[in-house]
């Protein structure tokens, strides 16, 4: 936590958890999908489900999915702007269980290429957020650091190749987690770094053996 986490974010009201955090969750959903969102089915859980209209959480989530910042003055009108720009967005209430954070959301996002992605996350206070699940993989992703997310085959060396590219580019790894469903199957890797990751590195990583996809995730 630093000074600007306490004095900030600059945001559109009324609630850092229900509004600014919701924008950031939308931003993360869009970044994880990795392309323009075409349709979004948004499941709201707990306090999000109870009070989303009064807090403008629906508008904030839509703004986030459009890629806007927490202080974008258009947030109150985001639902209309989303509809005009061809983003189809629907809201439902869901029960994600007792263990889910009271301010949780579940996105099912379809991109312009037809790609579908499911993202679960929570707004945990003061505008801070955490993504807890991507396409069924349990993850933990805050978006506070420059981050890359890979989907790759669970093979020896798949991870080492990625980290060696980062190290040769002078990118320091702050935190890293690897998830897999089954040995030798599809795995996910989240690498949070101190330095931003450039387009060139991203392209090289994409072409590595065993890498299915790589996405760069970073909140403003």
Positions that interact with another protein (CB under 8 A): 1-20, 47, 50-51, 53-56, 59, 71, 73, 75-76, 102, 125-127
Specify the residue, 20 or 188, whose C-beta has the smaller distance to another protein: 20
Q: Cβ 3 to another protein, closest distance in Å?
A: 4
Specify the residue, 18 or 152, whose C-beta has the smaller distance to another protein: 18
Q: Cβ 133 to another protein, closest distance in Å?
A: 21
Q: Cβ 11 to another protein, closest distance in Å?
A: 6
176 Cβ neighbours under 8 A, 6+ residues apart: 163, 189, 190, 191, 192
Q: Cβ 108 to another protein, closest distance in Å?
A: 24
Burial 130-139 (b: 16+ CB within 10 A, else e): bbbbbeebeb
How, if at all, do strands 88-93 and 103-111 pair? unpaired
> Could you give the CA distance from residue 32 to residue 210 in angstroms, rounded to a whole number?
19
Q: Cβ 114 to another protein, closest distance in Å?
A: 34
6: helix, strand or coil: helix
CA distances from 180 to 91, 102, 134, 145, 190 (A): 30, 27, 12, 22, 12
Specify the residue, 130 or 159, whose C-beta has the smaller distance to another protein: 130
Specify the residue, 70 or 150, whose C-beta has the smaller distance to another protein: 70
Specify the residue, 17 or 193, whose C-beta has the smaller distance to another protein: 17
> Could you give the CA distance from residue 82 to residue 63 in angstroms, rounded to a whole number?
8
In degrees, rounded to 5, the angle at the alpha carbon of residue 65 between the alpha carbons of residues 83 and 81 is 25
């Amino acid at each position: 936590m630093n000074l600007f986490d306490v004095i900030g974010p600059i945001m559109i009201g009324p609630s850092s958890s229900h509004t600014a955090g919701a924008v950031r969750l939308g931003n993360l959903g869009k970044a994880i999908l990795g392309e323009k969102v075409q349709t979004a089915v948004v499941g709201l859980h707990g306090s999000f489900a109870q009070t989303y209209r009064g807090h403008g959480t629906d508008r904030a989530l839509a703004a986030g999915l459009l890629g806007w910042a927490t202080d974008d003055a258009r947030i109150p009108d985001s639902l209309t702007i989303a509809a005009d720009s061809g983003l189809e967005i629907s809201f439902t209430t869901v029960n994600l269980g007792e263990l889910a954070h009271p301010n949780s959301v579940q996105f099912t996002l379809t991109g312009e290429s037809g790609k579908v992605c499911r993202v679960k996350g929570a707004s945990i206070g003061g505008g801070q957020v955490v993504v807890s699940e991507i396409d069924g993989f349990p993850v933990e992703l805050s978006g506070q650091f420059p981050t890359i997310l890979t989907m790759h085959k669970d093979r020896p060396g798949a991870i080492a190749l990625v980290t060696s590219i980062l190290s040769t580019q002078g990118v320091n790894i702050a935190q890293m987690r690897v998830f897999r469903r089954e040995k030798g199957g599809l795995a996910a890797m989240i690498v949070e770094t101190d330095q931003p990751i450039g387009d060139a590195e991203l392209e090289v990583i994409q072409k590595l053996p065993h890498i299915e996809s790589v996405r760069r995730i970073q909140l403003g």
